[in-house]
Amino acid sequence: MINMPTFRKYARTRKSLLAFLIAFSSLFAVSSAFADKPFSNSHITEVNDLKIHYRQWLPEGAEKKGSFFLIHGFGASTFSWEKAAERLQGKGYEVVAVDVPPFGYSDKSPTINQSFTAHAEMIHGLMQQNFPDRKWHLAGHSMGGGVAQAFALLFPETLESVTFVSAVIFTEIHSGEAYGQFLLRILPWRYVLGALAEEWFLTSGRIEAMLESAYGSSPTQKQVEAYLQPLKEPGTARAILGAAGHRNELHDLDAADLELPSLAIWGDEDTWVSLESRQKALDRIPGIEIKVLEGVGHNPMETHPEEFMKTWWEFIQGL
């Protein structure tokens, strides 16, 4: 006769093990985005053994006036820069926007170094490999602002200007990893939690609520889907959760060493990354211009593209 308590315990253990194995194996699922490019101007390349998705808007007309490179924020993708890119393209500029791994349609490896300096080096590799002999106007939004800042400090010779939009910028950063970080790399919790997040948390309703908070207004269904779809790519949630164990800054950097023409654009109703929370870092950047948009939230290039572009364009024309 079968001992029922023992049988139930065995069944629970087997079920838990199966769930873990499914979550773990799905880390190695190949994203459909690499087989089918998600946008008409999509490109897939490889930089430092990472698959990178970027979009390129070529200038209208024969003459190219210059080049812009755009970096999105946490949880976003190239979509967040679409309106700005189209306007810059219409003015005769080449525009490139990148999906920073593991976001958008770029690499989903759970061991990606997700530090500012590592991302900056990846972007520099992409530029040198795919776009040699350019000087860029660089812009970064939110998390992407910290990446743009690291890039501007590491590779100033490749830039004409840098713009921070509601940006997570720093006063200084130091190379190395945090104490105890290695422990986070050996714990299995992120695999299971990542699988649950992709199935449970990443829903249309939750993304809509998150965007409404960031935008300060209700998003359209197109905007909700544009954020949700890349976040649902297999492995994204697990890679995000793995970031805590794989964030190793490669260089020591100080905001005071930034000597490029620089601009900061903020919305006065930004509740995600307030201007006040970054004032110390801004104060360390020599000669930076700060422009505040009234009645605007965290994503001005999406919610107020005309006002945003007018402010940015005035800065670019004044260089």
Binning pLDDT at 50, 70 and 90, where does residue 220 land? very high
**149: its two tokens:** 């800042």
Binning pLDDT at 50, 70 and 90, where does residue 305 land? very high
> 163 by DSSP, 3-state: which?
strand
Position 176 scores a pLDDT of 82
Task: Give CA–CA dist 71/138, Å, rounded.
Answer: 8
Whether residue 214 lies inside any domain: the answer is: no
- Closest to 280 (Cα-Cα) out of 169, 163, 166: 169
Give percent of the chain with pLDDT exceeding 70. Answer: 80
Position 42 scores a pLDDT of 98
The CATH number that applies at residue 282 is 3.40.50.1820
Whether residue 215 lies inside any domain: the answer is: no
Whether residue 10 lies inside any domain: the answer is: no
**70: its two tokens:** 């755009």
* Number of domain units in the chain: 1
**141: its two tokens:** 């939004």
DSSP per residue over 53-120, as a string? EEEEEPPSSS----EEEEE--TT--GGGGHHHHHHHHHTT-EEEEE--TTSTTS---TT---SHHHHH
Whether residue 282 lies inside any domain: the answer is: yes
Position 203 scores a pLDDT of 87
pLDDT per residue as tens digits for the range 278-291: 999 999 999 999 99
At a CB cut-off of 8 Å and minimum separation 6, what does 149 contact? 116, 140, 162, 164, 167, 169, 170, 253, 255, 258
β-strands 67-71, 136-141 pairing: parallel
Task: Give CA–CA dist 299/284, Å, rounded.
Answer: 24
| Length of the chain (residues) | 319
Binning pLDDT at 50, 70 and 90, where does residue 60 land? confident
Whether residue 49 lies inside any domain: the answer is: yes
**263: its two tokens:** 């601009």
Whether residue 127 lies inside any domain: the answer is: yes
pLDDT per residue as tens digits for the range 167-200: 999 999 999 865 444 433 444 444 444 444 455 4
Tell how far CA 2 is from the center of its chain.
54
What is the pTM assigned to this prediction? 0.85
Residue-averaged pLDDT of the chain = 85
Whether residue 1 lies inside any domain: the answer is: no
Which range of residues forms the domain containing residue 132?
Answer: 33-177+248-317
Whether residue 199 lies inside any domain: the answer is: no
Binning pLDDT at 50, 70 and 90, where does residue 319 land? very high
**64: its two tokens:** 């190219």
Binning pLDDT at 50, 70 and 90, where does residue 201 land? low
Binning pLDDT at 50, 70 and 90, where does residue 33 land? very low
What count of other Cβ atoms lies within 10 Å of the Cβ of residue 125?
Answer: 16
Asked whether residue 28 carries a pLDDT value surpassing 50, the answer given is no
What count of other Cβ atoms lies within 10 Å of the Cβ of residue 136?
Answer: 22
Radius of gyration from C-alpha coordinates of the chain:
21
Position 63 scores a pLDDT of 84
Position 243 scores a pLDDT of 72
